[in-house]
Structure 1
Amino acid sequence: MSDADAETEADAPAEAFLPDDADAVREALVAWYEADHRDFPWRRTDDPYEILVSEVMSQQTQLSRVVDAWEAFLERWPTTADLAAADRADVVGFWSDHSLGYNNRAKYLHEAAGQVESEYGGEFPESPDELSELMGVGPYTANAVASFAFDNGNAVVDTNVKRVLYRAFDVPDDDDTFERVAAELMPEGESRVWNNAIMELGGVACEKTPACDGAGCPWREWCHAYGTGDFTAPDVPTQPDFEGSRRQMRGRVVNVLGASEEIALDELGPKVRVDYAPDGEYGRDWLADLLADLDDDGLVDYDESAGVASLRK
């Protein structure tokens, strides 16, 4: 694609990148998240202080390592008043002892607690713009706190979300376009559950090495990468080892069936593999086994006796 073509694509309306049944896309993701997700303690609270602490600690630190530090920090300084009254050296010392990265984050968190107490009477501001006025709180963190504490945020767009949108809907690698598509996709007034859900998708199903089937990705039916087998992304510049894999073949089957009402095995096979041969290694038996798996997963309807398959509606 030329630079001019890329610029033209990036200028397209946000809805042009989404499937016609965008509501079904939204419902599928929320249902997937609510059925099962990683249980971090900050996902069980809507306290803005507790959420701010988790967001600051999570910057460039694995979430699994943050849990103990987060709990210990809040046990020692359970409110903004407690943190604001603390000796800054103690806060910085805690940060260093728990290997939480740059100590400036501890200093800014301490100052932000002081602002909440002195400028806001101990009550957190609720909008992303107001939260951005707190020391060390950038646009991403402000939006996260607004979303998870007050259900009052915009669509979160981090590296994981960009990867998801790039792969799922073939959104061009352009920050403004990512922002517009993310905003169009997020259900109005549901930033808490939506932002948690789409970040969970990027964290467990659509990582740099994707786990589409293993994590039961709810967007496989619509996903461009799953259909084509190309899992590159802005932060995954080279093609992972999916060429010829079973995961890739499953995606191709779903993609082909999406354009057909019903199709016989010997018509479907060559569209999935160029080396398909009815009686060969990659023939009817191989394809039937693949279709049986997809049928079990609820993605296709496979009629073994008739030898035909269709995409499950």
Structure 2
Amino acid sequence: MTDGDAPEFDDPAAVRDALVAWYEADHRAFPWRETADPYEILVSEVMSQQTQLDRVVDAWRDFLDRWPSVEALAAADRAAVVSFWTDHSLGYNNRAKYLHEAAGQVVGGAVDGVDAGEWPRDPEGLSELMGVGPYTANAVASFAFDNGDAVVDTNVKRVLYRAFDVPDDDAAFEAAASALMPDGQSRVWNNAIMELGGVACQKTPRCDEESCPWREWCHAYRTGDFTAPDVPTQPSFEGSRRQFRGRVISTLTEYDELPLDDLGPRIRVDYAPDGEYGRGWLRELVSDLSEDGLVELDDRGGATTVRLRR
């Protein structure tokens, strides 16, 4: 594959279906994923720039409680919007100013070919709004109107680089992302592939723990090389979840079955039933292994026993 060319997928339909099914079965529940309101989505996208998503949730809700519509924000005092931004530690205050200005543009009909109070529905039109760059414009077009292009952010690049050995080149990433995205499904697809990068294909991968739907095609999973453009060296195996999963399997190979409190000290020396790395931590670990079909859990008698699945 040369830079800028789309990769060849043996079964692109299977790749697409596997990711969408994985996402729809279970994903992080952020409130902006439950709306198609372009105003609410734009607020979430601007807030999410360089801010952890878990921190954005409360700020997003507070913002919408105070300014529930684009008309309300446009009519607000700009100083109040900037003050809100500062009080919620949302980063550069210019984002608040631009968001306020963009609301005024929508209400005032400042976007070419769009009536006052109406939103542009494609990335090109949304890019005319103040402070809305190509990525944010595409996100709003995708999630509000299902009318976007394939998103390519850092997480998506990491996924494509690892899974399909796409070269570290912006044109190659764009081509690969576009080739994969099913026509007319930018909303679910862009949510799904970003979720994959944010949950399973993190800098330190959680392939098995999160039941990554692309394992059977993934170059990194096959070779064990999980480097990526934003992961220049192999993530440490020592102390990783993958290491403890392996220890569980090795221990049960020797003992066949063990209660949690007997298994725990055999896989980590700092195991304490009620501690940070105790029953709750271990139960989550073995539950993941159970979901992957590697172990069986027996909860009879008020205690959990773990055994290898034969």
TM range, smaller chain: 0.7 to 0.9
2:101 corresponds, among 108, 111, 126, to: 111
Amino acid at match of 2:292: D
Amino acid at match of 2:130: M
The corresponding residue for 2:266 is none
Contact map agreement 1:166 1:173 (CA 8 A) in 2? yes
In 2, Cα distance between equivalents of 1:226 and 1:102: 38
Task: List, as ranges, runs of 4+ consecutive aligned residues in structure 1 with deviation greater than 2 Å.
Answer: 245-248, 293-299
For the residue of structure 2 that corresponds to 1:94, the secondary structure is helix
RMSD: 2.6
The corresponding residue for 1:88 is 78
For the residue of structure 2 that corresponds to 1:9, the secondary structure is coil
2:53 corresponds, among 29, 54, 63, to: 63
TM-score, L = length of structure 1: 0.75
Q: Deviations over 1:289-309 (max 9, x none)?
A: xxxx9997379xxxxxxxxxx
Amino acid at match of 2:121: E
Kindly tell me the number of residue pairs found equivalent between the two proteins.
252
Q: Deviations over 1:20-69 (max 9, x none)?
A: 01110100000000000000000000000000000000000000000000
Unaligned runs of 5+ in 2: 110-114, 255-287, 295-310
1:218 corresponds, among 204, 213, 217, to: 213
The corresponding residue for 1:78 is 68
2:226 corresponds, among 199, 210, 231, to: 231
TM-score, L = length of structure 2: 0.76
Contact map agreement 2:161 2:228 (CA 8 A) in 1? yes
Contact map agreement 2:7 2:166 (CA 8 A) in 1? no
Matched, 1:177 2:167: no
Shift of 1:143: 0.1
Matched, 1:155 2:145: no
Shift of 1:208: 0.5
Amino acid at match of 1:66: V
The corresponding residue for 2:13 is 23
Shift of 1:241: 2.2
The corresponding residue for 2:38 is 48
In 1, Cα distance between equivalents of 2:140 and 2:50: 17
Give the fraction of aligned pairs with identical amino acids, expressed as a percent.
Answer: 77
The corresponding residue for 2:119 is 124
For the residue of structure 2 that corresponds to 1:10, the secondary structure is coil
In 1, Cα distance between equivalents of 2:232 and 2:189: 27
In 2, Cα distance between equivalents of 1:36 and 1:225: 23
The corresponding residue for 2:285 is none
Unaligned runs of 5+ in 1: 1-7, 251-281, 287-292, 300-313
The corresponding residue for 2:135 is 140
Amino acid at match of 1:68: D
In 1, Cα distance between equivalents of 2:96 and 2:241: 47
